[in-house]
Amino acid sequence: MFRVTYNKVWSKLYLLLVYFLFLTMNNVRKVEWVLRISVAGEFVGHGVFALQGRKAWVEWFSIFGISDVGTATTFLWLVGLIDVLLAVLILMKPVRLALLWMAFWGFWTALMRPIAGDSIFEFVERWANWGAPLALLLLRGIPTSIGGWLPPKQSKAGDLPMQ
């Protein structure tokens, strides 16, 4: 009984906090957060599947000459770990270089389906896998210098500069 009440109270407080934070944001900021959460969710989901060693995904490595199941499983586990870490990073700070990689990786993994012999519509269905990180990158702005792809350095006062 206490546990149910405790969870309900925290759930309501959390929803109330999200509601008030969302009310204080302008539309661009709201879109940015929707994209950040969406991109993170997609990469956490696929990352966990990779960490679990999905059989079909392990078999795709043979297309590129990696036929040893143990090696393919290890590579897939590393990919899954990177996906999950990138998801956490994007929630904390949408680093442009990470978003560029996520857009490329989403495009490539979506393209894997027709390369592996599936219908082209398996690729089409997954356009959001690369489109959402690309949209977030475009929203954040394409940098004009190499340094712009990396997170900004903190000032002496500890504040992040405006981007």
Q: Could you tell me where the DSSP H helices lie in the chain?
A: 2-23, 27-51, 55-60, 69-92, 96-115, 120-124, 127-140
| Extents of the domains making up the chain | 25-141
**pLDDT at 21 > cutoff 90:** no
Averaging pLDDT over each range in 129-133, 144-148, 158-162, which range is the top one?
129-133
**pLDDT digit string, tens, across residues 39-96:** 999 999 999 999 999 988 888 888 889 989 999 999 999 999 999 999 999 999 999 9
**SS3 of 110, please?**
helix
Cα–Cα dist 110/118, whole Å: 11
Nearest Cα to Cα of residue 78 among 92, 66, 90: 66
Tell me what pLDDT residue 69 has.
Answer: 92
**Each residue's pLDDT tens digit, 105-139:** 999 999 999 988 999 999 999 999 999 999 999 99
pTM score, whole prediction: 0.78
Q: How far is it, in rounded angstroms, from Cα 46 to Cα 105?
A: 11
Q: How many residues does the chain have?
A: 163
